[in-house]
Amino acid sequence: MLTLLAGCGFQLQGAFTTPTEMERTYIAAADERSLFYRELRAALEASGVQLVDSASDATATMTISIDETDQRVLSVSARNVPTEYEVYYTVEYGLYGSENDLLEVQMLTLTRDYTYDSTLVLGKAREEELLREAIVDDLVRVVLKQISTL
């Protein structure tokens, strides 16, 4: 089995590694209360990045210029009642070192859809909230993966 896995090129992902320029990082965000900002901050701290409170103390600055989420109607019933929604989350970010751009400005949008039933309003509201959290987890994972390739 090991020979088969080694032959196909499979590798374990390994731990998240940051470039040395990110030793002390400042995160500049318009909304410091957003779910993405909080999850990204927690993930960077967990990986050993020291987050600082001002750009002058930082060796790298991460900017989050767009951080927005909403939902769209995907389909409606014959009575023009929404039956399916799409939840989306969009972020735009960049990573800058003291001397150069570490990561050019990137924009990511992830979506999930769910069916809607007007008789289950509370359950569907909770499902939408869980979908947003899952999307943010995926976005943070993508951002960390991009950073680890630097």
Long-range contacts of 14-19 (CB under 8 A, 24+ apart): 15/47, 16/43, 16/47, 16/144, 16/145, 16/147, 16/148, 17/47, 17/148, 18/44, 18/47, 18/48, 18/49, 18/147, 18/148, 19/60, 19/97, 19/102, 19/147, 19/150
Residue for token digits 């390739």? 149
Has residue 4 got a pLDDT over 80?
no
- Parse the chain into domains and list their residue ranges: 17-148
pTM metric for this prediction: 0.86
Quickly name the fold that domain 17-148 has. Double Stranded RNA Binding Domain (3.30.160)
| 62-119 per-position pLDDT tens digit | 999 999 999 999 999 999 999 999 999 999 999 999 888 999 999 999 999 999 988 8
Q: Which two tokens stand for residue 97?
A: 């070192």
| 22-69: pLDDT as tens digits | 999 999 998 999 999 999 999 999 999 999 999 999 999 999 999 999
